[in-house]
A and B are shown apart, each in its own frame.
Chain A
């Protein structure tokens, strides 16, 4: 059954076992697919600069990829959380429906009046819109929104598949209406679902649309806005379950002024003012490195990646961020670290004995396949397998610093592979998404959703770490897992 021999296993044995496992799993694929999938499966070797797998390549048809699409990357991830703008799902009804309020981007506001995140706006394309084009309908939709939601601060047009196929000119509509609405920001986004190979291109397209339709338009427009030497922007935190808040509080406590949140609980004004900050601090590298690089090139703003999962990484990150500032901030960072240390230690003291030695397999998007490893290690747990839904090679390079020799790596894992890997490696916990959750729970394997925090969170920052630790304990040590086998069936 299980190939693991937990106590005695060293990394060489793990490597050999994992290579054998990959070979076994690949056997089921048709020949053509074996070649392609084999490049995405690998075993990390200590000292190598990446994880030895190919990434950001088209998913094979019919394999049950876990990936989504460019629309999901733009509307669902990057743009959707900007709370005072209206985001139109432009095209048929489905895309907007399935992504309606499902990502838990927390925000504060009066929904439907001055904020709109948990609403579903769609042009609900019918056959005639496909045949005759949807530009007129879009123009009318913008008029109606302006009329019914006078406090909206801008509108984005999130293209669904048909838009790019029927040759609509949403840019022209956006420009015309911007003039008519006296300069209102209206952003056409070409994030049709068939573009690219995953959500990832949607992030990039969304970043570019912010560059072209927000920053270019507004840079220098607000000379009276006074910046300070301690201004930063949080980039790539979507405030899932309040993540950006439990991060922001630490940055403020160390003396920084957080001018903008990109994009969880964010506003258009925050985006517009970001070109004046002193440092962009980047959590989700994958989805927002593009705009960070742009602001570096155009406005000379440096950016620094950080990791707010678990006390070890938080301490490291606070010091790293502080190193870009003067002693006041450096002392601030130390003060914050000292303030939270006893709480973090108490959390570890309580939960580590219940979690130490437990093995985890991850499959998530963005930054999490590497970023959460430190938090698990703070609790004495070990990540034995990880992979990215839509990572690129630079993600796998970064991952090489966080994983141990012999770790199983699976890029764009298929439903079949993931099931087989977990069946053989028998981890104590799987961390992945809603589509995977029930597969593994049926198998009797504890599971936490690591996209939505399984409706819990925040997991970022010190306050989030306590919740993270509690949740992992709750999942692994639930009495239910002892009940999956009927007593008369126990071996």
Chain B
């Protein structure tokens, strides 16, 4: 990216992009002049002094004493998760009741991560609705979206505006149905998803439970509740997952190999991976509506991320199913547990082919462990994802020195500590529930690590602290297509292993590439 020292001006033959253009002397001089003459800048010594100060223990203590301001949090708000859950059902249009700006944000956020369209509507409430309530917005909104987007189901959630003024979704939807906005028997499940409670994973839970309750408990009192007739099937709930496209396909492959009768409840792997073949699909794939009802009869439900289903899973359990809560299974032990649970519940043995996959992963780890052993990592992600990564790092002989989740609580902290104490590599590692990335910045300065695993926002920490970043989690805006790769199962763990190793080797090369100075270690065999 650096220029070769020559002055360049813009030209047709070799168009200079922003990263080249603005490094040309004419721009550098302009920037300097602007700063000097017009910005009234703080003198550079003072900037440097403060910059150094932010690296100190003193600053860290001040930073950790914060009570009111959150800086660079790693969490979003409830309706985002509600939409994520909703689009996993066949032909389902997410409808968010409240201010419209929120929906513009949700759609952009998903599109930036998945590089896919993200269909979702708002009831576009404005000041008058704030005063009189949003009933008319619900009535007109459902009618319009039903007519235009021809969904099979509309899943309603709320923004904080609708929650603060206390709009009642159940009553409003009933009213809209009576007014003929949608046919009498058209499915409109709903969930209240206030942004000032929990985070996007809470919204996922609320919407998932809302949809199941709607179908199982009598569709908001319009039909009799279903009566459970147990069968041998296993339900899987995926949870909020940036790698959902790859993960769901991998889970399907594994379960098909085992010959298990299973149902994925909310499968958005297709809607967020639609082909470019000349046709735009607003809806694609997903759990069939009839299957939502069927899911009641299953023998058991496995939540792949139990911090995404703290209300949903107990609700299912009360219906008489066995429930299993996992934490984003990455690595050998986590995958072993997943397969063993599936095998136990289904009575199907784990096939030899999967055993071989396991062996190959162990082989790969053995081949590479010397490069990972003892390396210190900082990890942040949603609670389950952070647990999954932490478990895998411990298996690799790495030290997850700082594990942080902004949207996590004491229960999660306990789970992470349990993991730490299960391995000698967990000794001295620390867990940080409820902290943000500005806290993590202080940690990285005062207790440095070798590598960091996090989402796109971690690149600011990489810039400030020099800690090399391995991207995993949600959102990832600045690298393409990783969401198409699984991280679950033995194959998924292999992907994570390779991403970690690639970064380690790249760093090794970067640190040994100066001719006649360090390049004796610039080995071609590692």
Contacts and interface: CB of A to CB of B under 8 A. Distances in A.
Interface of A: 28-30, 32-33, 58-72, 84, 88, 91-95, 97-100, 102, 106, 108, 110-114, 118-127, 129-130, 137-138, 140-141, 143-145, 147-148, 150-151, 153, 160-162, 164-166, 193-197, 199, 241-242, 245-246, 248-249, 252, 258-261, 265, 267, 269-270, 273, 343, 346-347, 349-351, 414-416, 419, 433-435, 437-444, 456-458, 462-463, 466-467, 469-470, 480, 484-486
B112 A102 contact: yes
Nearest to B51: A113
A147 B63 CA distance: 9
Given A61-B122, A343-B11, 6 more contacts: A112-B441, A120-B72, A122-B73, A162-B160, A258-B34, A458-B18
A99 B109 CA distance: 9
A155 to B, nearest CB: 10
Contacts of B12: 343, 346-347, 349-351, 466, 469
Contacts of A66: 104
Given A84-B39, A259-B38, A485 B277 contact: yes
Interface in B10-41: 10-13, 15-18, 21-22, 26-27, 30-31, 34-35, 38-41
B149 A91 contact: no
B31 A108 contact: yes
Given A94-B80, A270-B39, A463-B16, A438 B111 contact: yes
B460 A144 contact: no
B507 interface: no
A193 to B, nearest CB: 4
A150 B76 CA distance: 28
Interface residues on chain B, size class: 35 or more
Interface in B349-402: none
Given A343-B11, A416-B149, A67 B159 contact: no
Contacts of B59: 148
A166 B164 CA distance: 8
Report which residue of A94, A245, A346, A351 has the largest number of chain B beta carbons within 10 angstroms of its beta carbon: A94
A28 B112 contact: no
A69 B101 contact: yes
Contacts of B464: 111-112
A193 B27 contact: no
B148 interface: yes
Nearest to A442: B280
Interface string B130-166: 1000000110111111111100000000011100110
Contact of B197 (A62, A127, A242): A127
A88 to B, nearest CB: 7
B3 to A, nearest CB: 15
Contacts of B149: 64, 415-416
A471 to B, nearest CB: 9
B124 A30 contact: no
B415 interface: no
A114 B46 CA distance: 10
Contact of A113 (B50, B77, B129, B165): B50
Given A161-B159, A269-B38, A242 B276 contact: no
A165 B130 contact: yes
A450 to B, nearest CB: 14
8 contacts: A32-B140, A58-B126, A93-B76, A98-B108, A110-B47, A443-B279, A462-B10, A469-B15
Nearest to B41: A114
A343 B8 CA distance: 12
B275 interface: yes
B332 interface: no
Contacts of A30: 143-144, 147
B30 A249 contact: yes
Contact of B21 (A68, A267, A463, A480): A463
Interface in B277-318: 277-281
Residue among A102, A252, A419, A438 with the highest chain B CB neighbour number at 10 A: A438
A442 B108 CA distance: 17
Contacts of B138: 61
Nearest to A94: B77
A443 B15 contact: no
A79 B31 CA distance: 21
Contacts of B511: none
A174 to B, nearest CB: 15
B70 to A, nearest CB: 4
B107 interface: yes
A63 B121 contact: yes
A100 B118 CA distance: 19
B196 A129 contact: yes
Nearest to B40: A269
Interface in B313-364: none
B124 A106 contact: no
A129 B67 CA distance: 13
Nearest to A253: B26
Given A62-B144, A72-B101, A165-B161, A467 B15 contact: yes
Contact of A126 (B26, B124, B196): B196
B22 A110 contact: no
